[in-house]
């Protein structure tokens, strides 16, 4: 018996120190308890399947293709989950993170997710897997009349799922921020001018559309293309670089494209329905009212069986 063991036996106390020189041997590693893979009789509560279990908020830099073809390194928040069957205590969540470090030199797009999903679905012995990458994607915007150029950032997600038959589905999400001038306020302001010679300013407000699409197998949609679909539908994207002539142009544009939240959702629907690369979509719109103390909201889906639903309760997150 060594001196340290003898001392512990005599005092009945554990050693309170950190051994920087301790080395883990294969035998020691094999002796470590693995509670995540413990027997089914150690499960707490009902022994039922868990539809999604994994990690959220894991951050690392990943590579993406910029609109001009260059490679960008962007901070990315990863959510990775699998289905856990009954009879299994848990999963080794670190394997999801280790898988990403294996792929960190890849250039990510929705298609890349399939390889990652296969890898960690196999590593975790699961029947289903889901993955979401959230990041802020920069795209250049030209001012309306001055010719200035600035960088607009868009909150985006790439998402992929792999079911029990290894059927892969790809999704893309983009937050598009625009100005919404109220049609009712516009008419009321004109009425005050015409009938009472009174100056009146119609109200408008910053607004957000969260557009989610499912990409058809074998087809591709870039974030730039999805952004441009939003511009084609709504016109009045908020601006980065503005001189006086740009501000005047923006006021004219808002006057030409007044819209209720209902209009915004339907305009986006019209654009997305015409794109054969998009098999399903969901549109969430929120107008952060300057007239009211509350927001105006709308939710719209294509209506594909087994696809997106219009259920969305966390509208307050759009105004974060």
Instruction: Tell which wins on pLDDT, 312 or 220.
Output: 220
Instruction: Tell which wins on pLDDT, 87 or 256.
Output: 256
Lowest mean pLDDT of 1-10, 168-177, 256-265, 285-294, name the range. Answer: 1-10
- Residue 162's closest CA among 100, 76, 82? 82
Q: Which pLDDT belongs to residue 312?
A: 77
Lowest mean pLDDT of 40-44, 153-157, 203-207, 236-240, name the range. Answer: 40-44
Q: Distance between CA 283 and CA 213 in Å, rounded?
A: 9
Instruction: Tell which wins on pLDDT, 73 or 44.
Output: 73
- Residue 90's closest CA among 165, 38, 18? 38
Using a pLDDT cut of 70, give the percent of the chain over it.
95
| CB contact at 8 A, 170 and 110 | yes
Q: Which pLDDT belongs to residue 42?
A: 81
Residue 49 has pLDDT above 60, yes or no: yes
pLDDT band at 61 (very low <50, low <70, confident <90, very high): very high
- Residue 239's closest CA among 250, 225, 248? 250
Q: Which pLDDT belongs to residue 243?
A: 97
Q: How many CA within 13 A on the CB side of residue 311?
A: 3
pLDDT band at 4 (very low <50, low <70, confident <90, very high): low
Instruction: Tell which wins on pLDDT, 222 or 15.
Output: 222
Token pair, residue 132, equals 């979401």
The mean of the pLDDT values for the chain is 91
Using a pLDDT cut of 90, give the percent of the chain over it.
72
Residue 40 has pLDDT above 60, yes or no: yes
Q: Distance between CA 119 and CA 102 in Å, rounded?
A: 10
Q: Where are the beta strands (DSSP E) in the chain?
A: 50-65, 71-84, 107-108, 129-142, 149-162, 168-181, 204-215, 278-287, 296-301
Token pair, residue 52, equals 């999604």
Strand pairing category for 296-301 and 278-287: antiparallel
Kindly report the length of the chain.
320
Residue 9 has pLDDT above 70, yes or no: no
Domains of the chain: 51-305 (3.10.270.10)
Q: Distance between CA 264 and CA 185 in Å, rounded?
A: 16
Backbone angles phi, psi at 306, to 5 degrees: 75, 10
Q: How many CA within 13 A on the CB side of residue 222?
A: 12
Q: Which pLDDT belongs to residue 151?
A: 97
Lowest mean pLDDT of 30-44, 162-176, 208-222, 282-296, name the range. Answer: 30-44
């Amino acid at each position: 018996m060594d001196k340290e063991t003898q001392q512990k036996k005599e005092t009945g106390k554990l050693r309170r120190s950190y051994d920087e020189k301790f080395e883990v041997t294969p035998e020691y590693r094999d002796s470590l308890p693995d509670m995540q893979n413990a027997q089914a009789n150690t499960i707490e509560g009902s022994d039922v399947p868990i539809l999604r279990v994994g990690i959220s908020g894991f951050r690392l830099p990943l590579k993406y293709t910029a609109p001009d073809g260059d490679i960008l390194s962007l901070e990315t928040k990863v959510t990775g989950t699998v289905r856990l069957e009954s009879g299994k205590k848990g999963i080794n969540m670190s394997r999801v993170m280790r898988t990403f470090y294996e792929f960190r030199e890849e250039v990510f797009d929705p298609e890349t997710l399939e390889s990652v999903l296969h890898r960690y679905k196999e590593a975790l012995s699961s029947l289903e897997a889901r993955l979401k990458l959230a990041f802020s994607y920069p795209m250049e915007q030209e001012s309306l009349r001055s010719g200035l150029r600035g960088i607009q950032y868009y909150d985006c997600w790439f998402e992929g799922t792999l079911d029990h038959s290894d059927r892969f589905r790809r999704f893309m999400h983009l937050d598009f921020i625009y100005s919404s001038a109220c049609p009712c306020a516009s008419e009321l302001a004109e009425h005050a001018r015409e009938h009472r010679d009174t100056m009146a300013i119609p109200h408008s407000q910053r607004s957000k559309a969260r557009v989610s699409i499912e990409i058809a197998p074998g087809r591709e949609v870039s974030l730039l293309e999805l952004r441009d679909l939003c511009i084609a539908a709504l016109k009045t994207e908020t601006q980065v670089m503005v001189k006086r002539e740009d501000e005047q142009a923006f006021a004219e544009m808002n006057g030409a494209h007044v819209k209720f939240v209902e209009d915004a959702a339907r305009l986006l629907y019209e654009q997305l329905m015409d794109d054969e690369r998009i098999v399903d979509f969901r549109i969430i719109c929120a107008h952060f009212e300057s007239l009211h103390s509350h927001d105006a909201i709308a939710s719209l889906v294509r209506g594909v069986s087994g696809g997106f639903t219009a259920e969305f309760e966390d509208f307050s997150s759009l105004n974060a």
